Structure 1
Amino acid sequence: MHISTKLSHLKNNPYQVFFSLDLWLLAIWGFLLLGVVSRLFVYLDCQNLWLDEAFLAKSIYHTPWGQILGKPLEWDQATPLGFLLITKGLGEMFGHGEMVLRFLPFCASVALLFVFWAITKELLTPKWQLVAMMIFVGSKTLVYYAAEFKQYEIEALCSAILLLAFIRGASFLRFLLLSAVVVLFSYGGVFLICGLGAGYIYRHRQNLPHFIKHNVLAALSFSVYFALLYFYYIAPQAVPGFKQWWGALAGFPPINPIELVRWLSAQFLPAIRDFALGGNIRALWLFVLLTLLGVLYIARIQRALVAGLVCFVAIYWLAGFMKLYGFAVPYNILGARLALFWQPLFVLCAACGIAWLYEKLAKSRLGGGRKYLSLCSDITLHR
């Protein structure tokens, strides 16, 4: 369309200025830039290593290459094998300074922004993509761990990559190959792999025997691969100190239903309040409600994804009840680190919940004005 024709069209339809596709995309790119700059600023600030970071750095660089497998790290430290190998290699090539140590988490934090946007584009229109990016970029925990010498930002990236592969309909074989890489960089990723694996079963439920026949060998191969990784690297690092530490901080959920409800309100939710925009506990309760509504929204588009997420949550909680994996604890911003890997899912569901709620309000009589605006927006976006 010629420029003069566009200007004439905008003059006759002024509302289009506020609902044009280009404007939404421009705003999204603006928040992406803000996210990159904020993470770069934290990374370049280059604070001295705090105690836990220093212990991890010393234990990695004091462990000879030949003693990495089958032996726990020193000072009650644990980190995924891939993170250890790359960090150790970077240190030997470029030195052991703070910027070298934190380079991998920083790169993961930047990549995470773009992977998460790719996820939102599969489920949401540009205006709701913008909402999701606003929440995601504003996460205090993601910004903090962008320059923390720990693997938690990488775990969040791994979760986002798995989620994107599933939503885009990657074959189960490709998903398993991707999962084989993920378990090298993320402890929590195995829960999401199992959950989304159940989602694949749900997706192919109409022809389940055929699906099992063509993928059973790949699933068994991945199981053997993960078992070797677990028994030769992960299990030796699970020293008693970890269970005692997280148990003392109420990092494991109680089995008693009444105590569990109290634990959720007093321990778990306050610990992850920084997942929500602003880090306010009241805002978190709102985001929890929006997350539940978002599950309903996603169920209309991808029921297999909802089935996978439900299985993921069930397996994740089961591991907590069995005291195999610690949960977040109300310990300032540091308390949410073990749960950081599922923040992309939390924000995605919350953004979908906002979209669902908006649609319901737009259709009601009380939301008549919003209905008009939504209609104008939809007309413009689909031109």
Structure 2
Amino acid sequence: MVLKMKRTLFYNYKIWFILLLIVGIVLRLYHFFYNRSLWMDEIYLSSSLIRMNYHELATQPLDYQQKAPIGFLWTVRFFIDIFGVSEQALRLFSLICGILSLFLFIPVCRYFSDEKGALLGLGILAFSTPLVFHAVEVKQYQVELLATLVVLYSYIKFHERNTYADLLQWGFIGALVLWFSYSAVFVLAGIATGLSFYRIIKKDWELFFKQCIPFLIWFLSFGMNYLYFTHKHAESKWIVEWFDFYKNFMPVPPHSLEDLKWYALNLYRLFDYPLGFLWNVKWLLVLPLGFLFLGLGLLYQCRQNFLILCFPFFFMFLASALKLYPLTERFWVFISPILIVILVRGYLWLMDCFNSLVLKILFTLLLCSGLFINTIKYVLYPKDFLGHKRSFQREALATVAEKFQNGDVVYIYWNDLPGYKVYHKIHPDHFTTIEGKDYRFLSKDYLSYLNLLKSDFDGFKGKRRVWFLYNDYYKTDIGDPIGEPAWYYEKGADPVLKLLKHLSTMGKPQEVFNSFDVKIFLITLKNR
């Protein structure tokens, strides 16, 4: 009797769905309330969100050449107005979208697979470290993931309906989504193209022409959004050059072995970011990789679903080939639900080949091992959350505020000014500050650079100690030509260390804060 009850509970999908939802929500809330310091990408966008009003967000270029949909900008600005300027107010919209995504993914994944598939898909979405990260980030990528799910869910609900009321409702949902997500255009265009092809193949002319109604509404909404808002934030020449330099655009057609390697490398990276499968045991990659290709082959058997789910990739790859959309890390986030759906189909097929429950559990645990291990790691060590996207800007400034004394002055080097300016508005400080000027492009070498910096150093006169803050991770500025000025970035040159050496002639330097990005030296000045 007890064994039968345990078996019944084990196969009770409702319980598992509830457990995964709870875990997914708790993980996001945990990192939200841990409230890590804003990292540089968040700093860049937060600068405009804090400084600008609604009209300015809609009509003026954002600081640091940032881009974000107007719906996202206005919603975050609304939360700032309600809750005040804080990291959590800035991240609240992403958190809400992250939690909603968990709920909405269940019916979407269930439609394209089955109950077991939806359970695994929810587990991947709930535990994926990059996707948890974007649910507590001041950027639009979690909103774009939710937008994809809204578009897919509306397709599930409306694609077989032919009443004008339903078609108009479908059209307005897609039209609204475009104001919150740039990448939604790939999914909407993919659905419109895929479904139109399918109607033509089936010669279902009535639905073909009727469904042009929502497709036309989407097109008009995209046109209005682009004309009045998006074109103001179109990719700048510098951003295209930057992504091109780091090979973030798909090489079509490939012209070299390096171009061919691009495909293999980015496929490999995909399972790390955004899917979150990778950890130290690299060979386990064969499982999600195999399931993805197997699922793609199986998806072809259902021609309609194949067209609907694959055309968004076609438009995304086309945009990347035209150097309109980079393919790296965060730019895959919006399409991760489709990747998970395809992978889940491959998993289900293989599990149906096994009669042994033990084998099924073993394969599932091996597949998800990276998800579990990465999750546990960042719960235990939240300050290291997603490694290269961590920052300690707030902690650095808090250290200065705590130990600042009369007769001190704080010198912020130019490469840490973005973080300082944002945090000065979030947590206003009361210490005397010199904002270092960027003289790199006015200088021909280090000596002329140092000579210009002396105007900053004039502010040290009459002071007893200098707090020198600089960013040791982000050493360039938005808009800088790559590798320029050459004298500053030449191999072996480290102007900040040279500057520290010069400052040591003024007094004794002591390192008082050393983090992943921000570093602080306290210089006790000689009698001057």
Fold conserved between structures, TM > 0.5: yes
Note the alpha carbon deviations across 1:194-227, whole angstroms, 9 max, x for none: 1111232144333443234334454334322211
- The amino acid of 1:319's aligned partner reads A
Aligned length: 349
2:334 paired with 1:337: no
1:37-66 deviation digits (Å, cap 9, x = unpaired): 001000001112122212211112333433
**2:128 is the alignment partner of 1:147:** no
Q: Is the 8 A contact 2:70 2:179 kept in 1?
A: yes
Q: Would the aligned equivalents of 2:106 and 2:122 in 1 still touch at CA under 8 Å?
A: yes
DSSP-derived class of the 1:75 partner:
helix
Residues 213-362 of structure 1 aligned to structure 2 (within 5 Å): 213-238=209-234, 239-257=236-254, 258-267=257-266, 269-270=268-269, 272-280=271-279, 282-300=283-301, 302-328=302-328, 336-359=329-352, 361-362=353-354
1:331 alignment counterpart = none
Q: 2:65 aligns to what SS in structure 1?
A: coil
Write out aligned runs for 1:36-55 (5 A): 36-55=25-44
> Which moves more between the two structures, 257-266 or 89-98?
257-266
Aligned equivalents of 1:271, 1:349: Cα separation in 2: 14
Contact 1:273 1:284 in 2 (8 A): no
- Superposed CA offset, 1:223-282 (max 9, x none): 222112113211221222321221122110112335443102234532551334542454
- Maintained 8 Å contact 2:251/2:259: yes
Offset at residue 107 of structure 1 (A): 0.6
1:324 is paired with a residue whose SS is coil
**CA distance in 1: counterparts of 2:121 and 2:217, whole angstroms:** 37
Q: Distance in 1 between matches of 2:175 and 2:305?
A: 20
Shift of 1:188: 1.0
Query: Residues 107 and 325 of structure 1: is their aligned pair in 2 closer, same or farther, counting only changes over 3 Å?
Result: same
Q: Deviations over 1:108-153 (max 9, x none)?
A: 1111111111223324443333222222222111111111111111
Q: What is aligned with 1:101?
A: 90
Structure-2 change in CA distance of 1:149 and 1:277 (3 Å): closer
More moved, 349-358 vs 219-228: 219-228
Higher relative contact order (CA 8 A, sep 6+): 1
Q: In the alignment, residue 231 of structure 1 is paired with which amino acid?
A: L
Candidates 183, 186, 191, aligned match of 1:196: 191
Task: Check whether the contact 1:198–1:311 (CA below 8 A) recurs between aligned residues.
Answer: yes
Q: Which has the higher helix share?
A: 1
State the SS of the aligned residue for 1:273: coil
Partner residue in 2 for 1:379: none
> 1:218 & 1:23 partners in 2: Cα distance?
39
Highest Rg: 1 or 2?
A: 2
CA distance in 1, matches of 2:20, 2:244: 39
The residue that corresponds to 1:159 in the other structure is 148
Comparing 222-231 with 118-127, greater Cα deviation is found at: 118-127
Distance 1:130 1:185, change over 3 A: same
- Report the aligned-residue RMSD: 2.7
Match of residue 475 from structure 2: none
Instruction: Give distance in 1, aligned partners of 2:152 and 2:95.
Output: 21
Alpha-carbon contact 1:159-1:342 (below 8 Å) kept: yes
Separation in structure 1 between the aligned mates of residue 143 and residue 221 of structure 2, nearest angstrom:
21
Q: Aligned in 2, Cα 1:250/1:282: closer, same or farther, shift over 3 Å?
A: farther
Other structure's SS at 1:326 match: coil
Give CA-to-partner distance per residue, 1:262-317, whole Å, 9 cap, x none.
102234532551334542454445323212222344444x5312112222111110
**SS of 1:165's equivalent?**
helix
For the residue of structure 1 that corresponds to 2:325, the secondary structure is: coil
Larger deviation, residues 203-212 vs 69-78: 203-212
State the distance in 1 between where 2:283 and 2:156 align.
Answer: 31
Matches within 5 A, 1:112-123: 112-123=101-112
Residue 88 of structure 1: which of 77, 97, 115 is its match? 77
Aligned mates of 1:279, 1:371 — CA distance in 2: 23
- Aligned in 2, Cα 1:248/1:218: closer, same or farther, shift over 3 Å? same
Equivalent pair of 2:109/2:121 in contact (CA under 8 Å): yes
What residue in structure 1 maps to residue 63 of structure 2?
74
Distance in 1, matches of 2:199 and 2:168, equals 14
Q: State the distance in 2 between where 1:62 and 1:248 align.
A: 32
Task: Pick the structure with more strand per residue.
Answer: 2
Q: 2:54 aligns with which of 58, 65, 71?
A: 65
Q: Structure 2: where are the runs of 5+ without partners?
A: 162-166, 361-528
Pair 126,217 (structure 1): closer, same or farther in 2 beyond 3 Å: closer
TM-score for both structures, normalised by structure 2: 0.61
Residue 174 (structure 2) pairs with residue 185 (structure 1):
no
Answer yes or no: is the 8 Å Cα contact 2:274–2:330 preserved in 1.
no
Matched, 1:174 2:173: no
* Alpha-carbon distance in 1 for matches of 2:115, 2:212: 39
Unaligned runs of 5+ in 1: 1-6, 329-335, 363-367, 374-383
> Is the 8 Å Cα contact of residues 276 and 284 (structure 1) preserved in structure 2?
no
Counterparts of 1:372 and 1:150 in 2: how far apart (Å)? 41
Gap change, CA 1:51 and 1:166, over 3 Å in 2: same
Q: Which moved more, 1:34-43 or 1:195-204?
A: 195-204
Asked whether the equivalents of residues 199 and 208 of structure 2 are also in contact (C-alpha less than 8 Å), the reply is: no
Measured in 2, the distance between the counterparts of 1:303 and 1:174 equals 26
Distance 1:320 1:104, change over 3 A: same
Name the % identity. Answer: 23
Contact preservation (8 Å) 2:278, 2:285: yes
Q: Note if contact 1:158-1:182 (Cα within 8 Å) is conserved in structure 2.
A: yes
State the secondary structure of the residue aligned to 1:274.
coil
Q: Matched residue of 1:68: which SS?
A: helix
